[in-house]
Amino acid sequence: MQVSASTLYKDLKASRSRWAEKTSRPLTLIMIIILASTTATTIHLGRGSSLTSHGPISIVGNAGFNNITYPNNGVTGGNGSATNPYIIKGWDIAAPTTEDGIHVEQTNASLIIRHVNIYGQGGSNGIFLYHVTNVLVNDTTISSLNDGITVLLSNATVENSLISSNGQHGISILDGENVSVLNNTITLDTGDGIHSESCARCNLNMSGNTVTFNLSGIVLQSLNNTVISENRISSNSHDGIGVYRSTYILIDLNNITNNGVGVDLGGSTNNLVHHNNFLNNPVQALDNETGQNMWDVGYASGGNYWSNYKGVDYCSGPAQNVCSRPDGIGDTAYTFANDQDRYPLMQLFVQSVIHDVAVSSITPSTRSVNQTETLSITVTVRNEGAATENFTLTLYYDSTLIGSQTILALTPTASQTVLFYWNTTGVEVKFHFLKAVASTVWGEIDIGDNTLVIGPIDVKMAPSTSSPTTIQPSTSPYFVGGVVALFIATILAVMIRRTKHRTR
């Protein structure tokens, strides 16, 4: 059975929200087509440019941050609290083949590694984080090492950095929790740009990165609950994005260009891929779990843009049979190895205007109702986007329809309240749940809030309205005759008993 896109999105929405709190930029694709020249970046610090030469840095345990006891630990400020983290910055580090440029392990103090340049000869790692929490790597340049950055069993964020020309992976993530990789340039690595495996609780956010000219762009193995969004993934030899034996991965708003395979979902289920631009990948997509992943979010929001789609757009509607009325969605599905995008986009997707409708609340008049009564239910919808929208609001109990209503011309930030009536006559006596669904609008990305479920609603057996049964004396002639006969027999029995008593 094909998974529900709204269900998947709810499981991933929290991860997207954590990323959104860290960045103020709008949810917009920055580029349409990735050019080979994107390997350049303004983040590159340049060796020795306003930096001071420093040897490799190793910190073990919170005590390692004490720069009186350990004067070569590279700490330039802070006390390790959340509001005043330790700072390591301003260093130019040539890592030898036997030592990591910066190695931090077994700490729970807050730390920022910023404005650091690390380079080497391929035998060691640029930054190695092991069993640490609350670490931010920001505005760094790492090149010519083994792994650029390794995050092992740690909580960390890597952002606004240039990671290039490493012998293995640009960033390697091996287990951990709440790991974010944001707005980095990762290029020319012999292995994968970003590689993660065996990470059950990582809650990865990989957003806003430029990942080019690596073996593969992003590879996930045995992961769940990950967001891959708004990246520019280009010219990687193998996969642009490879997801293997993983579940609940959201892939949206990416430009995926000139990779060996655009997106490969190998042995993976319950994943959601939509509103990406697939441009000129020799193999655009692979999915060997037919029907177990979603490659669109339904009508009218749509799926992805595919540069080799040959379909036309003459019609509209969920079945694409309302003709002639084009709607920006292809009239036929885009099919590829073992799966399909049911609603392929006809043009490159750029979300310059946010489209987003939501169900805000469901308010029943009571949570307990007799089986023969009618329950009134108020549902509120809201336009959280930037365009006036038309859509349909539908209300169910469990999976059974109660009613629907068309919402017309709902303006941005406006709300509308709709009153439904649920006649519970014949409804099974038990607890039920109410579900309100706002249909998706074209170009809508956040569909997790289009559905709201509340409950339980207790439908009870209606009390009896008939009077208690009263036994009335019978007026039947047989009944009367029987009573008279019984009376006479009783009198005769008494007289016979008295006669016998006298003769004794």
Q: What is the pLDDT of residues 342-386, one digit of tens each?
A: 999 999 999 888 999 999 999 999 999 999 999 999 999 999 999
Peptide bond into 456 cis (omega under 30): yes
Whether 150 and 214 share a structural domain: yes
Among residues 315, 341, 367, the one where a domain terminates is 341
Q: What is the pLDDT of residues 420-470, one digit of tens each?
A: 999 999 999 999 999 999 999 988 988 989 999 999 999 999 887 655 544
Domain containing residue 368: CATH number: 2.60.40.10
Residue 15 pLDDT:
55
- Is residue 16 a contact partner of residue 229, using CB atoms and an 8 Å limit? yes
Among residues 286, 309, 341, the one where a domain terminates is 341
Domain containing residue 87: CATH number: 2.160.20
146 is a domain residue: yes
Backbone angles phi, psi at 8, to 5 degrees: -60, -45
* Cα gap 451→7, rounded to integer Å: 9
Whether 433 and 399 share a structural domain: yes
Q: Say what percent of the chain tops pLDDT 70.
A: 82
281 is a domain residue: yes
Q: Which residue has the tokens 């035998």?
A: 123
pTM assigned to the model: 0.82
Whether 240 and 282 share a structural domain: yes
The parent domain of residue 434 ranges over 357-460
109 is a domain residue: yes
* Cα gap 158→161, rounded to integer Å: 7
* Cα gap 338→326, rounded to integer Å: 28
- Is residue 34 a contact partner of residue 14, using CB atoms and an 8 Å limit? no
Among residues 341, 365, 385, the one where a domain terminates is 341
Whether 304 and 258 share a structural domain: yes
- Is residue 304 a contact partner of residue 275, using CB atoms and an 8 Å limit? yes
370 is a domain residue: yes
- Is residue 179 a contact partner of residue 150, using CB atoms and an 8 Å limit? no
- Return the DSSP state at 411: P
Whether 269 and 410 share a structural domain: no
- Using 50, 70 and 90 to split pLDDT, how confident is the model at 321? very high
The tokens for 118 are: 């690390």
Number of domains in the chain: 2
Q: Where are the beta strands (DSSP E) in 253-398?
A: 255-257, 261-266, 272-274, 277-279, 283-287, 305-306, 315-316, 322-323, 334-336, 339-341, 357-364, 368-370, 374-383, 389-397
- Nearest CA among 203, 204, 163, 208 for reference residue 186: 163
Whether 185 and 264 share a structural domain: yes
Whether 181 and 211 share a structural domain: yes
485 is a domain residue: no
Whether 362 and 400 share a structural domain: yes
Q: What is the pLDDT of residues 100-124, one digit of tens each?
A: 999 999 999 999 999 999 999 888 9
Whether 365 and 406 share a structural domain: yes
Whether 369 and 313 share a structural domain: no
158 is a domain residue: yes
492 is a domain residue: no
* Cα gap 126→70, rounded to integer Å: 21
352 is a domain residue: no
- Run of H or E including 8: helix 5-22
- Using 50, 70 and 90 to split pLDDT, how confident is the model at 22? very low
Q: State how beta strands 210-212 and 277-279 pair.
A: unpaired
Whether 369 and 318 share a structural domain: no
Whether 200 and 104 share a structural domain: yes
Peptide bond into 300 cis (omega under 30): yes
- Is residue 225 a contact partner of residue 248, using CB atoms and an 8 Å limit? yes
